Amino acid sequence: MRAIGATRPGGHMGFVGAAYDVTLKGVDLFFAGIHTEGCPAPVRRFLPEPIQLIWDRRIDPGKVFDLTLPLDEAAEGYRAMDERRATKILLTL
């Protein structure tokens, strides 16, 4: 609902991926007067190439991630993203 409310009438709101446990009232969406566009996010299809580039040290992912945690603290990474304390988490071994 925040994205809908933040989009001015006539504006466009896009979403990627499947949002689970999210419900929208049709009337709220209808009267917002905005354009919505979305699609699935087939991560497994595109992930192997960037993973290989990182592994080969051809790109530095550190410029994208704002929190680095060990793999066994992955749950904390999800909490940090959920609480908006972080945007992208890098999990290390």
Q: What is the pLDDT of residues 43-91, one digit of tens each?
A: 888 889 999 998 999 988 777 899 999 999 999 999 999 999 999 999 9
Residue 8 pLDDT greater than 80, yes or no? yes
Q: 56 with 79, same domain?
A: yes
Q: 27 with 50, same domain?
A: no
Q: 48 with 88, same domain?
A: yes
Q: 84 with 69, same domain?
A: yes
Residue 20 pLDDT greater than 80, yes or no? no
Alpha carbon 57 to chain centroid, angstroms = 24
Residue 78 confidence (pLDDT): 94
Residue 9 pLDDT greater than 80, yes or no? yes
Domain assignment of residue 24, given as a range = 1-41
Alpha carbon 39 to chain centroid, angstroms = 13
Residue 63 confidence (pLDDT): 79
Please name the residue that has the structure tokens 């917002």. 32
